[in-house]
Amino acid sequence: MITIIEVLVFLLFTFPSCLAQETNVSDYKALLAFKSNLILESINILSSNWSSNTHFCNWLGVSCSNSPDKRVVALQLRGLALRGIISPEIANLTRLLVLDLSSNDLGGTVPSELGLLLQLRLLNLTGNFLQGSIPANISHCQKLEELCISNNMITGSIPEELGLLSNLKALRLNDMNLTGNVPASLGNLSNLQYFYLHENTLLGDIPAEIGKLSHLTLLSFRGNNFTGSLPPLIFNISALQIIDFSINGLSGQLPENLGHWLPNLESLFVDSNRITGRIPVSLSNASKLNNLFLTENNFRGNIPSELGRLLQLEWLELEYNQLSNNTPSSIFNISSLQILEARHNYLSGQLPDDLGLWLPNLQEIYLSHNLFSGEIAPSICNASKLVYLEMSNNSFSGPIPMMLGKLVNLEHLNLQNNLLTSEPQSTHLDFLNSLVNSRNLEYLILGSNPLNGILPDSIGNLSSNLRVIAAESCQIKGSIPRGLGNLSSLSFLGLANNDLEGNIPPSFVGLLNLERLYLTGNNLKGPISAELCSIKSLGILHLGENMLSGSIPIFIKNLTELVEFSLAANSFNSNIPLSFWRLVKLESLNLSRTSLHGFIPPEMGNLKAVRIMDLSSSNFSGDIPNSLGSLQNLVSLDMSRNSFQGPIPDSVRNLIVLESLDLSSNVLSGMIPKALESMQDLKYLNLSFNRLHGEIPQKGVFLNLSYQSLMGNPQICGAPRLGLPSCPTQTSNRRRRTSHVLKITIPIIATFLLVVICCLTWISFYKKKVEGNTAVDSSPRMGHQIITYHELVRATAHFSEANLIGSGSSSMVYKGTLADGTVAAIKVLNMQSEGALKNFNAECEIMCNARHRNLVKIISTCSNMDFKAMVLEFMPNGTLDKWLHSHNNHLNLIQRIDIVTDVALAMEYLHHECTVPIVHCDLKPSNVLLDEEMTAHVADYGISKVLAQDQAMTQTRTLGTIGYIAPEYGLDGHVSTRADVYSFGILLLETFTRKKPTDDMFRGDLSLHQWVNRFFPDSVKVVLDSSLSSDMDFKKESSSAMLEQSLVSIIHVALQCLKESPEERINMRDVGVQLKKIRTESHQYARQGNPKFSNPHTKGL
């Protein structure tokens, strides 16, 4: 018999084995569940490795304990391109210490079940596509030491419960969409060493409790919306090595004792905020400091000389502040210094004579846009590692150092806008000879200095990498060196406004990559050579104000990339060759003040991209070609002081964006085209000194036209206010003849109309029988053929869901192809919606009567008793909302400026150009559609309110969308054109910040308007869409500052639109004027800063 002791011994040895087997099975099932939630094609590496033929402890990324039960303690699958979701059953790995799924493509949410992993020490989910919020019950993982969920798409606020993780050493929640305030409870994480919250949309004050984190070594809150002052206690954490609060809205002053308790500080970043006051002297006590970034704040006063004690400092950024007085010489004695940026301040005085002697590691120095004076010390040439030397826009004087060639690593030299000269004992610019040794030189910018010398031919021996030579307004004499033709990488050559003479050298044929050539304002002679016309990369060619002669060569046709071309004020004496009109990319053409003559051919109409054309003060003759009407991007046209004759072509009506037209001092005859009065953008018109006759139109530009614009046309009449005679009335004989004719013609016309009406009635009756549809109701009359229901069925494939492109409570929109091949948008009315018939009739009437290039046009309608639809223009590029808020789309800066200007012009038309003002009531990005050229068209204006001419506002039910509705709209139901102005202001802000007014960060007391206003104007870049930085590199001078100013101007317009009181808001006419000016300037700046001049979708102005 088996004794009791034997049974107990048996149970003692078999029970743990059974238990271990059970827990093994649990871990095994959890791993299989994890695998089953991954998309199979992405886990080939797991499908072959995670096999039932192998114990799971040997699977890739799986680590087990050494104990007999072999429990899973680590799952590390970093960077395996895993796709799918994280299975909640992973929580069954109850002994898990490490879970690392970082750098994959996992989606879904962070499972709240992870809070059950009570033994977990490390959780790393960084670099995936996780969404949702951070689960609060992660706080149950009390042993957690590292929590890393950064670089995901997680939203919502930071759970206060995370403050319970007392063992946490690293918290990484950066690069996501977190909102709200930072919980004060995080100050309880007493063991925290690494704290990352950068690149979110967190807001409010930084909690003072953060100052209690005594073990903190790295603190990064960069790129949020924090406001208020920096908590002083943070600067008492002696363990801190890196502090980054850059790109926020922080204000106040830095603590005076900031550096006293930071012996380990290596990097301090507080740039791009609104911090004021002086730079604390105590910073000099942070002896380990490597990087000090104070850029783009409002610091005032001196740069403390004590900063010279920071002997490990490598990068010092002080630009865009209000620092003044002399720069302490001690700064130039920091031998470790590599980069010094102090641009855009009020620093003055002279630089030390030993500048460069104690800077052996200096690579970049930026001192432009200050008040420095005196000579540039030759000792700068001892800073042998220098790559960027930027000292423009100061008052430096004296000769440019002769030994610049010792800077063998130099890539960028910018000394423009100073008082620098050449060596007084030499007639040549000999300092250029030494630069031959700088073999990496790419930018040589010397413009606006009184150099007063001759370019040496050795300039052709400069670096083969040289891309830019800018030496405008430098009093340069002599001829253009032939050696310049050796610089085959040159893309920009600016020698305008000098005293150069002789011919343009044939050696220019070697400038294979030249894109911009500026030679305006010299004394150059001779013809335009065939060699110059062989530089096919040329986009801008300015040769004006010289003494060039001969003819325009036929080879000019080879410059197919030409965007700007000026020959103004030269001595050419020929016809324009027919081949010239093949330059179809031209946007700006200036042939004024030459002796060019002959007719302008119909081929002029090929220049469809041209925006500015000046043919004035030459000897052109003949008729103005009717093809002029093809130049629909033309903004300014000057053909004055020539010998043009014949009538003003009627096709001028097609120049829909024309703002300035000067045809004065010609021999034009005929009547003034009445079409000119309907050109709504036309602001300047001069028709003086011609042979025009007849009545002067009374509307549009003629309302404010002065006598000087019409004088010299003795046979015009009809404007008594200008002192011109009234036009003669019809004679009584004429009236009697007219009356007699009417007595005969009226009965004939009446009979004819009666027959037509009978025929139409019969046709209508016949159609009803054939189609089985009820009679057409009393919809507004359209200026087009009404389309049938069956045609729409065929066009949309029976209103297939595949063709559905939009839907709402009152209508659905389908894409369809009509019988003639036209692709259209078919808007089908929901007949069950309230007031459907009335709304349809009103919408049709408004859309038929409103005509503007930036409004969506109606093509046709289909209207029966039980079906109503409108056929509209189809916009292939969808809505502005899609382009702003989809990760697959990007609008560059110029495109955004073009779009908002288009919208402004459409709204100006609705408010100010229609017979009675039309209020849109629901202006927002989803109601702005983009055609194939990215031109904006305002949609859904047909459901708006029409105001009587004597009404400023009317009452209505709420039509608008939350976030875009003006404050007074919600209070009393009143709408007016000023409510649209408010909506447009919100649309402007959304377009350039890429933030919706309903985003989570604006759900409290903070609105989009208030958020932007907080940073305007000094720190406007803080609120801009970060993707715009690729269009506008703020680290470079050129045109980026100008583009930034354009953005400041746009935000200013938006804030004018968003005034609380409707009466204080700007009107859309003034908005249109300001945005058109900004658009014109921005296109110019973009071409200056971008060698490609514009992107394919950029419209002409």
Cite the annotated binding site for ATP by residue number.
827
Structure token digits, residue 778: 């009393």
Residue partners of 65: CB distance under 8 A and separation at least 6? 71, 72, 73, 95
Chain centre to alpha carbon of residue 619: 43
**In b/e form, how buried is each residue of 466-488, taking b as 16+ CB within 10 angstroms?**
bbbbbbbbbebbbebbebbbbbe
User: 1030 has which bridge partners?
Assistant: none
Q: What is the largest CA-CA distance in the chain?
A: 147
What is the Cα–Cα distance from 49 to 948, expressed in whole angstroms? 76
Which residue carries 């093994």 as its tokens? 24
Q: Extract the annotated binding site.
A: 827
What is the Cα–Cα distance from 612 to 590, expressed in whole angstroms? 8
Structure token digits, residue 518: 């500026």
Structure token digits, residue 859: 């093509």
Residue partners of 537: CB distance under 8 A and separation at least 6? 491, 512, 513, 514, 515, 561
Query: What does DSSP say about strands 823-829 and 667-671: parallel, antiparallel, or unpaired?
Result: unpaired
**In b/e form, how buried is each residue of 316-339, taking b as 16+ CB within 10 angstroms?**
bbbbbbebeeebbebbbbbeebbb
Q: Is 101 exposed, middle or buried (0-12, 13-18, 19+ CB in 10 A)?
A: buried
Helices H / strands E in the chain, number of each = 13, 61
Residue partners of 522: CB distance under 8 A and separation at least 6? 495, 496, 497, 498, 499, 500, 501, 545, 546
Report the 3 state secondary structure along 761-795: HHHHHHHHHHHCCCCCCCCCCCCCCCCCHHHHHHH
Q: Could you tell me if 1068 and 908 are in contact, meaning their C-beta atoms sit under 8 angstroms apart? A: yes
CA angle (1019 as vertex; 1017, 1021 as ends), nearest 5:
105
The residue type found at 941 is Y
CA-closest candidate to residue 334, choices 354, 353, 360: 360
Q: Which of 27, 922, 999, 1025 is catalytic?
A: 922
Exposure of 570 in the CB half-sphere (CA atoms within 13 A): 30
What is the Cα–Cα distance from 192 to 175, expressed in whole angstroms? 19
Structure token digits, residue 615: 């043919």
Active site residue 457: no
Residue partners of 960: CB distance under 8 A and separation at least 6? 921, 922, 966, 969, 979, 983
Q: Give the chain's radius of gyration (CA, Å).
A: 37
Q: Could you tell me if 97 and 124 are in contact, meaning their C-beta atoms sit under 8 angstroms apart? A: no
What is the Cα–Cα distance from 149 to 1081, expressed in whole angstroms? 44
Which residue carries 């903190």 as its tokens? 216
Residue partners of 749: CB distance under 8 A and separation at least 6? none
What is the Cα–Cα distance from 684 to 662, expressed in whole angstroms? 8
Residue partners of 290: CB distance under 8 A and separation at least 6? 266, 267, 312, 313, 314, 315
What is the Cα–Cα distance from 665 to 621, expressed in whole angstroms? 12
The residues annotated with a catalytic role in the active site are 922
